[in-house]
């Protein structure tokens, strides 16, 4: 269930792995919807091309292949990658297996929501995705413009066409850090709260990335990087999953409500609705 820091963690791990430079010799698809419903078409386009590099856009992983294609992967709720040798399906949850030169790349996805796309035009593919919150283009001026909506701020933060990469954990963390109530109408934020939130978003994302992502719970379906590597950021969460525990700023008990259909954690004392 990866968000920007988790996807970036995976991109960095795969980008430093032996898959780089390796040709894709064979592809086995066990759940056709994962690759868009036409496995033969998908495989034919990919087979023989090398994986040149890994990158990320929002919550999408991008495998740059020999021209003209890139393999774009969205992990959705439970997608994970494993490197194995040999290329035998090691779990019923492996939906796609890529046989490479000296290893194999396995896409493990119990809930089967993950999706793979082949694109020869990434600009067009990402045309409707918002900007990158960790890039220099994430300016206060641009952010402030996007807040001019009569809409709950949390709902806006989760909208990938507004800003790319923020999910439920980091939305709650950024709102807590900036003392903004999740149900606050975006257009009603004071300039001070706007600025606080603008600073908080990169801060919480960078912290998540520094700890190589957030791995919650005990289940294997929760986020893990390549080869099941857990992140460490769960130990540093300020508000997410802290229902009924004391706020680290004011000791009031953290509340959990539902906003935009998502569990939402906030401090009722210091995240004030105005």
Partner DNA sequence: CCATATGTTACTCG
Partner DNA sequence: ACGAGTAACATATG
CB of 67 to DNA, least distance (A): 25
Our finding on whether 8 is near DNA (CB under 7 A) is no
Q: CA–CA separation, 196 vs 210, rounded Å? A: 21
Interface of this chain with DNA, residues 213 to 242, rule: CB under 7 A: 214-223
Residue 53 vs 241, nearer CB to DNA: 241
Question: Of the listed 249, 256, 262, 268, which one is catalytic?
Answer: 262
Choose among 58, 88, 87, 60: nearest CA to 73.
60
Our finding on whether 1 is near DNA (CB under 7 A) is yes
Listing from the earlier edge strand, what are the strands of the sheet with 94-99? 26-29, 94-99, 104-108, 80-84
Q: Tokens standing for 27?
A: 């592809």
Q: Do β-strands 94-99 and 104-108 pair in parallel, antiparallel, or remain unpaired?
A: antiparallel
Among 51, 54, 61, 169, binds DNA (CB under 7 A): 169
Among 2, 130, 133, 182, binds DNA (CB under 7 A): 2
Our finding on whether 13 is near DNA (CB under 7 A) is no
Q: Tokens standing for 67?
A: 């021209």
Q: CA–CA separation, 248 vs 236, rounded Å? A: 11
C-alpha pair distances (Å), 252 with each of 177, 247, 270: 15, 5, 8
**b/e for 246-270, b at 16 or more Cβ within 10 A?**
ebeeeeeebbeeebbeeebbbbeeb
Among 167, 176, 179, 247, binds DNA (CB under 7 A): 167
Among 56, 57, 93, 212, binds DNA (CB under 7 A): 93
Our finding on whether 160 is near DNA (CB under 7 A) is yes
Question: Of the listed 49, 56, 57, 59, which one is catalytic?
Answer: 59
Q: CA–CA separation, 65 vs 118, rounded Å? A: 10
Q: CA–CA separation, 254 vs 110, rounded Å? A: 32
Residue 99 vs 225, nearer CB to DNA: 225
Among 35, 110, 197, 212, binds DNA (CB under 7 A): 110
CB of 228 to DNA, least distance (A): 13
Q: Is 3 a catalytic residue?
A: yes
Active site residues: 2-3, 59, 262
Task: By CB under 7 A, name the binding residues for DNA.
Answer: 1-3, 6, 33, 58-59, 74, 76-77, 93, 110-113, 149-152, 155, 158, 160, 167-169, 214-223, 260-263
């Amino acid at each position: 269930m990866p968000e920007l820091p988790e996807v970036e963690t995976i991109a960095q791990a795969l980008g430093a792995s032996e898959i780089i430079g390796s040709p894709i010799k064979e592809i086995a698809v066990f759940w056709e919807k994962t690759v868009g419903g036409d496995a033969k078409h998908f495989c034919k386009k990919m087979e023989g091309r090398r994986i040149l590099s890994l990158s990320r856009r929002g919550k999408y992983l991008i495998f740059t292949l020999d021209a003209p294609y890139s393999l774009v992967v969205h992990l959705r709720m439970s997608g994970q990658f494993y490197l194995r040798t040999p290329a035998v399906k090691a779990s019923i949850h492996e939906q796609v297996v890529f046989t490479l030169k000296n290893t194999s790349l396995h896409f493990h996805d119990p809930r089967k929501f993950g999706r793979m796309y082949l694109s020869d035009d990434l600009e067009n593919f990402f045309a409707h995705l918002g900007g990158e919150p960790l890039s220099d283009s994430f300016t206060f001026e641009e952010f402030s413009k996007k807040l001019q909506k009569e809409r709950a701020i949390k709902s806006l933060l989760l909208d990938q066409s507004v800003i790319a990469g923020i999910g439920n954990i980091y939305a709650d963390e950024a709102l807590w850090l900036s003392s903004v109530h999740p149900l606050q109408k975006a257009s009603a934020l004071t300039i001070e709260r706007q600025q606080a939130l603008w600073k908080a978003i990169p801060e919480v994302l960078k912290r998540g990335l520094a700890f190589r992502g957030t791995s919650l719970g005990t289940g294997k379906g929760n986020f893990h990087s390549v080869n099941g590597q857990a992140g460490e950021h769960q130990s540093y969460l300020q508000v997410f999953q802290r229902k009924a525990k004391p706020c680290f700023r004011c000791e009031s008990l953290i509340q959990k409500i539902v906003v935009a259909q998502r569990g939402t954690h906030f401090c009722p004392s210091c995240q004030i609705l105005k």
